[in-house]
Amino acid sequence: MTSNNTDLNFDLIVLGTGSAGQSVASACRKEGWSVAIVDPRPFGGTCSQRGCDPKRVLAGAAEIIARSRNLKGKGIKSENAIDWAELMAFKNTFTRGIPESTEEKFEKEDIRYFHGTASFAGRQSIQVGEHTLTGGKVLIATGAKPAPLSIQGEELLLRSDDFLDLEILPEKIVLIGGGYISYEFAHIAAEAGSEVHLVHNNDKPLKNFDPDLVEALTEALKETGVIFHLNTETKSIARTGNGYVLEVEENGRPLRIECGAAVHGAGRVPNIDELDLQKGGVDADKKGIKVDDHLRSLSNPDVYAAGDVSGSPGLPLTPIAGLEAKAVAANLLKEGSATPNYTATPSIVFTYPMLASVGMTEQQARESGKNIKVNFSDMSDWYTYKRSNDRPSMAKVILDASDGTILGAHVLNGEAEHLINYFTIAMRHGLKAEQLSDTLFAYPTEASDIQYLLEL
């Protein structure tokens, strides 16, 4: 059913058609609720169209180039090369039909959908263009957007979704910011043949990851060709000829960087500016909608928030959006008190090598007051990694020395995405170091090495 129907009263109004919004809308409609869903952008959300999924397609190609180069002279005669136009065409096969298929899903489930910008008109009402929707409950699942940088010429910067849709990759490109998006895009662009500059305003990029492994990853990307400008403040960007020029200050010295494009990768903020939250009696801060442990607005109990827009303790990751959506659906349908379990949330930087993390960093563990043991291993010469010349390859595992509890795990290598999931399973379900070490894994695989990272 489309938005042409004149009945605009609903049991639930959902703002946002990403994974969190869709999940809650479908769950409530399945139980007989009347549901409306609103989005100003193509339906389907960021992750599937403008984020994780298309990014991983590009990162996968860059990974293959890197793996091939590692074995050049060790059985591989020549390196492969990326054809950017072909790669983008392949990426588009994953994203092209998502808005239409999402609409078809809403039609099938009899969820009313509205294309447009939503804003609160009252505590339980939403304005979308000429339509005023009223609802018993409202879910805000509008995600995040690039943080304002307040630099001259900021409107000239590409956003992450622009990078993922580039028809032609510039010969020289600048990434502003030292977060995982900038690192991933830097690696993709470098492997595709661009001269890449990464500009970050302090000396601690990837601040939420283990600094020892971040340093090793940074050095690896330098070898790939990425030029890092740390302790560098971006002052302005302007057009020049066929490209752009960035005025920056690197370690106190002015520097001009000319490029074909500059990309904003300096963090994201909750996407709430257009919601007119005050009219809805909904409080928010820089972290997002202020919610209780059940993801209910602290100031309006008829409003919930899930995903990146929520001010919950959860990290801004797609699995967390799904986790929070399950809790919201349970609380709406059962009038319960479900709370998301954020224990052991893994996070991965999809460069090559990949950097993965779960649980406490070494610093956090030391500050916790626990009696800890830190196992920091260079695995580059271990069989598993030597056979593919996977360098650097290292891991840091942090244990509670008193009982073998796994407090944190951090991995840097080509198998990090797999290893981190083993540690996540153990940590989430309370397996101790001895129990994980005692698990029989197929040999030779990366999992069969885990026992050597867990010695007490």
pLDDT digits (tens, 9 = 90+) for 17-31: 999 999 999 999 999
The residue assigned the tokens 């005669």 is: 77
Give me the mean pLDDT over the 59-78 stretch: 93
Full residue range of the structural domain in which residue 124 is found: 9-48+91-146+269-334
Confidence band for 5, pLDDT divided at 50, 70 and 90 = very low
Co-location of 242 and 382 in the same domain? no
Quick check: 304 and 326 in contact, CB under 8 A?
no
Asked, for residue 68, whether it belongs to a domain, the answer is no
Co-location of 281 and 363 in the same domain? no
Asked, for residue 80, whether it belongs to a domain, the answer is no
Co-location of 212 and 305 in the same domain? no
Answer yes or no: is pLDDT of 335 > 90: no
Q: What is the pLDDT of residues 103-114, one digit of tens each?
A: 999 999 999 999
Asked, for residue 357, whether it belongs to a domain, the answer is yes
Co-location of 276 and 141 in the same domain? yes
Q: Which residues contact 261 (CB under 8 A, 6 or more apart)?
A: 158, 163, 166, 170, 173, 174, 243, 244
Closest to 59 in 3D by CA, of 94, 29, 24, 32: 94
| CATH code, domain carrying 225 | 3.50.50.60
Closest to 364 in 3D by CA, of 372, 354, 356: 372
pLDDT at 4 (0 to 100): 46
Show the 3-state SS of 281-346. CCCEECCEECECCCCEECCCCCEEECHHHECCCCCCCHHHHHHHHHHHHHHHHHCCCCCCCCCCCC
Asked, for residue 39, whether it belongs to a domain, the answer is yes
Asked, for residue 165, whether it belongs to a domain, the answer is yes
Answer yes or no: is pLDDT of 3 > 60: no
Give me the mean pLDDT over the 123-149 stretch: 96
pLDDT at 79 (0 to 100): 77
Co-location of 381 and 240 in the same domain? no
DSSP codes, 96-158 = TTHHHHHHHHHHHHT-EEEES-EEEEETTEEEETTEEEEEEEEEE---EEEPP---BTGGGSB
What's the full length of the chain, in residues? 456
> Which of 233, 266, 299 is at the close of a domain?
266
Answer yes or no: is pLDDT of 425 > 70: yes
Quick check: 145 and 160 in contact, CB under 8 A?
no
Number of domains in the chain: 3
| pTM, rounded to two decimals | 0.95
Q: What is the pLDDT of residues 234-267, one digit of tens each?
A: 999 999 988 999 999 999 999 999 999 999 999 9
Give me the mean pLDDT over the 52-69 stretch: 96
Give me the mean pLDDT over the 346-360 stretch: 98
Q: What is the pLDDT of residues 371-394, one digit of tens each?
A: 999 999 999 999 999 999 999 999
Asked, for residue 61, whether it belongs to a domain, the answer is no
Co-location of 277 and 255 in the same domain? no
| CATH code, domain carrying 440 | 3.30.390.30
Co-location of 119 and 179 in the same domain? no
